[in-house]
């Protein structure tokens, strides 16, 4: 999950909670995509395949609904955290575990969202969103509690780049020269360690550039110099040959997970703690549901699906990183297109919608929402 680098205690607590969620999800009330399934030994047991929906009280116990406030952005759904956002980019939980920062891709605003409160502007970054670019993702500084710094992946008139943002200050360049194209400009950020920023870049609509070692497009880059001085060192390439960037997230053991979209399939890959990667992806989706942002802990990976309109949860083997059961879909078709996910301090998935980017936005879109769990699942702990 893109939260900078949390304490070991916090990471273990979130891992345990998220792992519990994965077990609950695989056991029932989830829906599976048979086109992406493969046999396992022993074969896992799944539930009825019912779609996850919010629980409604019995008709006899329905209380009178209060009148809707005179506010077009009011949403009755108790799982909705924020409404009436422009099309979103990145979503990251703050260290308090109860509020998050979400970006508006086209406006360049970074907004603080908290349940029960109106969004407030944390910072703003000049961007060029003429194609599918803009303010695409953010990652918290590892020392965010002290310095309030945020790293952002943005599109300018000439390139895609990474900048460092401090509220009330001009953004400072960290990495420039990432190719910009007519499409495929999405990118993502996460800290693998306090001094190591992982930068996922899209192929900018040019698959050949992703395979070109001289291009920064279609790569997972390892940035170890966060200096904003002129001409910082060229980043190391950790993974190449990537398509349209989805998301990047780290696990408690130091592995880095990457999602991307290619012409033939969507993929999930894992960079091992030693920097190696398997010969084949961890998982593929031939039906191409539009993999996007991810959040991960020991035992499970959650992935936002744009075209699949759901959160996909895969249970994984902590030792090998392999997937141990077919993906389960949470909240399918409940909130529309989803662009990113993060995990709250209570171990609950939060997601941001991207219905204003190629979807069918409702009256309160775009939104940040808490994803309902299967009936009887409770929380993640």
The full DSSP string for 260-277 is EE-SS-EEEEEE-TTS-B
Question: What is the C-alpha separation between 131 and 133, in angstroms, rounded?
Answer: 5
Integer CA distances (angstroms), 303 to 215, 229, 283, in order: 27, 35, 12
Backbone angles phi and psi of 193, in degrees to 5 = -160, 170
Residue 24 pLDDT: 42
pLDDT value of residue 68 = 61
Per-residue pLDDT, 88: 98
At 310, is the secondary structure helix, strand, or coil? strand
For 219-250, letters b (16+ CB in 10 Å) and e give bbbbbeebeeeeebeebeebbbebbbbbbbbb
Whether 203 and 178 have beta carbons less than 8 Å apart is answered as no
Map residue 77 onto helix, strand or coil. coil
CB 255 within 8 A of CB 321: yes
Q: Give the integer Cα–Cα distance in Å for 60 and 42.
A: 44
The phi and psi torsions of 9 (rounded to 5 degrees) equal -60, -45
Output the pLDDT for position 67: 55
Query: Which two tokens mark 70?
Result: 């005179």
DSSP 33-53: -GGG----SSPP-----PPP-
DSSP 3-state of 368: strand
Nearest to 346 by CA among 122, 55, 79, 33: 79
pLDDT of residue 225: 81
Return the residue matching tokens 């953010």: 138
Contacts of 307-312 spanning 24+ positions with Cβ under 8 A: 307/337, 308/332, 309/333, 309/334, 309/335, 309/336, 309/337, 309/338, 310/334, 310/338, 311/338, 311/341, 311/349, 311/351, 311/371
- Say how far apart CA 328 and CA 269 lie, in whole Å: 18
Q: Residues 6 or more apart from 338 whose CB is under 8 A from it? A: 292, 304, 305, 306, 309, 310, 311, 351, 352, 353, 354
Residue whose tokens read 């939260």: 3
Is residue 188 a contact partner of residue 178, using CB atoms and an 8 Å limit?
A: no
Residue the block writes with tokens 């009178």: 64
pLDDT in tens, the chain (381 residues): 454 444 444 444 444 445 445 444 443 333 333 333 333 223 222 222 333 344 443 443 444 444 566 899 999 999 999 999 999 999 999 999 999 999 999 999 999 999 999 999 999 999 999 889 999 999 999 999 999 999 999 999 999 999 999 998 999 999 999 999 999 999 999 999 999 999 999 999 999 999 999 999 999 999 998 876 666 678 999 999 999 999 999 998 899 999 999 999 999 999 999 999 987 899 999 999 999 999 997 689 999 999 999 999 999 887 777 887 789 999 999 999 999 999 999 899 999 999 999 999 999 999 999 998 765 444 443
Q: DSSP label at 195? A: T
* Among the listed residues 298, 270, 299, the one whose alpha carbon sits nearest the alpha carbon of residue 283: 270
Query: Residue 21 corresponds to which tokens in the numbers above?
Result: 């969620």
Q: How many residues does the chain have?
A: 381
């Amino acid at each position: 999950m893109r939260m900078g680098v949390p304490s070991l205690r916090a990471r273990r607590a979130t891992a345990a909670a998220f792992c519990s969620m994965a077990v609950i999800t695989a056991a029932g009330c989830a829906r599976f995509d048979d086109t992406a399934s493969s046999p396992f030994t022993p074969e896992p047991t799944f539930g009825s395949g019912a779609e996850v929906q919010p629980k409604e009280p019995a008709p006899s116990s329905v209380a009178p609904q209060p009148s809707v406030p005179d506010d077009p952005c009011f949403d009755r759904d108790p799982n909705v955290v924020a409404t009436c956002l422009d099309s979103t980019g990145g979503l990251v939980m703050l260290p308090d575990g109860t509020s998050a920062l979400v970006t508006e891709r086209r406006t360049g605003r970074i907004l603080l969202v908290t349940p029960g409160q109106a969004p407030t502007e944390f910072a703003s970054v000049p961007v060029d969103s003429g194609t599918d670019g803009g303010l695409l993702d953010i990652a918290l500084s590892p020392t965010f509690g002290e310095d309030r710094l945020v790293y952002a992946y943005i599109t300018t008139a000439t390139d895609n780049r990474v900048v460092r943002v401090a509220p009330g200050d001009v953004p400072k360049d960290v990495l420039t020269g990432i190719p910009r194209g007519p499409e495929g400009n999405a990118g993502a950020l996460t800290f693998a360690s306090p001094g190591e920023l992982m930068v996922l870049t899209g192929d900018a609509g040019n698959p050949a550039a992703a395979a070109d070692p001289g291009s920064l497009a279609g790569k997972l880059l390892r940035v170890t110099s966060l200096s904003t001085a002129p001409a910082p060192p060229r980043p190391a390439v950790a993974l190449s040959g990537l398509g349209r960037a989805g998301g990047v997230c780290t696990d408690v053991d130091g592995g880095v997970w990457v999602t991307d979209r290619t012409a033939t399939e969507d993929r999930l890959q894992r960079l091992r703690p030693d920097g190696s990667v398997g010969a084949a992806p961890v998982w593929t989706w031939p039906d191409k549901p539009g993999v996007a942002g991810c959040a991960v802990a020991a035992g499970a990976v959650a992935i936002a699906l744009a075209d699949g309109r759901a959160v996909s949860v895969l249970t994984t083997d902590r030792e090998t990183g392999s997937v141990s059961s077919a993906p389960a879909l949470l909240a399918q078709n409940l909130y529309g297109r989803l662009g990113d996910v993060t995990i709250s301090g209570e171990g609950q998935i939060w997601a941001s919608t991207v219905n204003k980017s190629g979807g069918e936005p409702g009256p309160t879109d775009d939104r940040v929402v808490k994803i309902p769990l299967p009936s009887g699942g409770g929380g993640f702990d």
